[in-house]
Amino acid sequence: MSGTPSAALKGVADAESDDSAAGTKPAIVLDHIVKTYASEPKQGRNPRAVDDLSLTIEPGEFFTLLGPSGCGKTTTLRSIAGLETPDSGEISLAGRTVYGSSAGINVPSNKRGIGMVFQSYAIWPHMSVFENVAFPLRVRGRESRSSAAELRTAVHQALETVELDAYAKRSATQLSGGQQQRLALARAMVAQPEIMLLDEPLSNLDAKLRDTMRVELKRLQAESDFTAVYVTHDQTEALAMSTRIAVMQAGVIQQIGAPREIYEHPANAFVAGFIGRTNFVEAEVLQSPQPGVSTHLVQSALGVPLPARSATPTPAGTAVTLCVRPENIRLTAPAEQTTAHSMTGRVLSAQFLGELTEYTVCVNDTALLVRAEADVRFSRESTVTVAFAADATWLLPR
């Protein structure tokens, strides 16, 4: 690790990590993790909060766990941190097993070399802003010979990065919610952990500050070189920040991939529906990909045969779901730009949203959600030509 916020205290952090050859090993490996809470209601839902979850995170990744409320994101994160003990499985950090059910290993949380920012940012109310950030260093400092001056420098650097240096002397309770969240971030960063676990760390910030902090967090990560595991249920945030995303549902990972890969090639309808908005249309394959042609031809409820891609070639006659994103549908005045695959539609509704206009368009009795740039203007009941952008339609098995 290098750079801010506490280069002066680098030795303190290093004293904790016992493996200097860790660079080539994955930062985090979860192997078949299962976690059940005793009080979890069993009817009609998965009783496992985390259900046989395996994943590997490389050093320096910004890895996001994304999914709806209750899908097991926090439980996964707390298991990595050692704040929750799984029922079974194995967790290793930089090649060192920190939890193993069969080997009976369970390394305490404070020996895992992890920094954490929780969903409920637990700052210490009886301490000043400065002391909140200094505390983790004071605890570690007992085992090292870092001086008071080094500690002060490290704390002020950490506070500066979250723009709270001017508040150092205040009591932590005199900060706004967003400021407390930034304080929690500074406190987690000050000891320069190899791994940073962030559970919705921006949830209490207003939209503008959240945007700023996203950029800031990414910058901090690039500079300090930690591996980040980030939890959010905000798909825009996940797409913007992550090297890879794991989409979770009911304790199970549905798909792991780079943001673009997940957005453009969702593995199933849950992922397609959760990440961004998607039109789903029932269809049947007319023609599977031919030599030199990468797309299928499908017949759908929209009436006109349409080209579409999929993860694997699907034979003719297969029932499928055709997916198309609202921003990949083009509306033009009738007969302006017709092609073999264009359709005729009727505008059911138009909603001006500032940067764009959202339309509902009826094509052959099927309603499609369309997002068009704001300067495309069609009124209700007008007839339009509807076309899908090339390579923008995706097939899922039904």
Ligand X SMILES: Nc1ncnc2c1ncn2[C@@H]1O[C@H](COP(=O)(O)OP(=O)(O)OP(=O)(O)O)[C@@H](O)[C@H]1O
Max Cα-Cα span within the chain: 78
The region of 4-12, 73-81, 107-115, 214-222 touching ligand X under the rule CB under 6 A is 73-81
Binder among 26, 59, 70, 95 for ligand X (CB under 6 A): 70
CA distances from 337 to 212, 331, 343 (A): 41, 9, 10
The region of 67-75, 162-170, 185-193, 254-262 touching Mg ion under the rule CB under 5 A is 67-75
Identify the residue whose tokens are 């031809």.
297
- Interface positions, 204-263, toward ligand X (CB under 6 A): 233
- Interface positions, 107-136, toward ligand X (CB under 6 A): 119
Quote the Cα angle for 180-185-191, to 5°: 130
**Three-state SS for 383?**
strand
Q: Of 83 and 376, which CB lies nearer to ligand X in the complex structure?
A: 83
Smallest distance, Å, CB 36 to ligand X?
9
Query: Does residue 75 interact with ligand X by CB under 6 A?
Result: yes
> Nearest Cα to 249, choosing from 273, 277, 282?
273
User: Phi, psi at residue 346, to the nearest 5°?
Assistant: -125, 130
CA distances from 162 to 104, 168, 211, 215, 376 (A): 40, 12, 13, 12, 41
User: Phi, psi at residue 59, to the nearest 5°?
Assistant: -60, 140
Query: Does residue 48 interact with ligand X by CB under 6 A?
Result: no
Q: Return the one option of Mg ion, ligand X, none that residue 69 interacts with (CB less than 5 to 8 A, by type).
A: ligand X
The region of 23-31, 64-72, 89-97, 215-223 touching ligand X under the rule CB under 6 A is 64-72
Query: Does residue 40 interact with ligand X by CB under 6 A?
Result: yes
Query: Does residue 72 interact with ligand X by CB under 6 A?
Result: yes
Is residue 155 within 8 A of residue 190, CB to CB? The reply is yes
Binder among 12, 33, 71, 238 for ligand X (CB under 6 A): 71
> Nearest Cα to 251, choosing from 63, 74, 27?
74
Q: CA-to-CA distance for 318 and 339, rounded, in angstroms?
A: 26
The region of 68-76, 166-174, 176-184, 266-274 touching ligand X under the rule CB under 6 A is 68-76
Looking at beta carbons, which residue is closest to Mg ion? 74
Query: Does residue 39 interact with ligand X by CB under 6 A?
Result: yes
Q: Return the one option of ligand X, Mg ion, none that residue 5 interacts with (CB less than 5 to 8 A, by type).
A: none
Q: Of 114 and 285, which CB lies nearer to Mg ion in the complex structure?
A: 114
Count of residues touching ligand X (by CB under 6 A)? 14
Count of residues touching Mg ion (by CB under 5 A)? 1
Smallest distance, Å, CB 38 to ligand X?
7
Binder among 49, 175, 202, 347 for ligand X (CB under 6 A): 49
Neighbours of 313 (CB within 10 A): 12
Query: Does residue 60 interact with ligand X by CB under 6 A?
Result: no
Q: Of 194 and 200, which CB lies nearer to ligand X in the complex structure?
A: 200
Q: Of 43 and 379, which CB lies nearer to ligand X in the complex structure?
A: 43
DSSP string, 168-235: TTSBGGGS-HHHHHHHHHHHHHTT--SEEEEESTTTTS-HHHHHHHHHHHHHHHHHH--EEEEEES-H
- Interface positions, 134-153, toward ligand X (CB under 6 A): none
Query: Does residue 74 interact with Mg ion by CB under 5 A?
Result: yes
Side-chain-side CA neighbours of 221 within 13 Å: the count stands at 23
The region of 34-42, 134-142, 348-356, 368-376 touching ligand X under the rule CB under 6 A is 34-42
Q: Of 80 and 159, which CB lies nearer to ligand X in the complex structure?
A: 80
Identify the residue whose tokens are 């694997």.
312
Integer distance in angstroms from the first to the last C-alpha of the chain? 48
Q: CA-to-CA distance for 153 and 171, rounded, in angstroms?
A: 20
| Residues in contact with ligand X by the rule CB under 6 A | 37, 39-40, 49, 67, 69-75, 119, 233
| Residues in contact with Mg ion by the rule CB under 5 A | 74
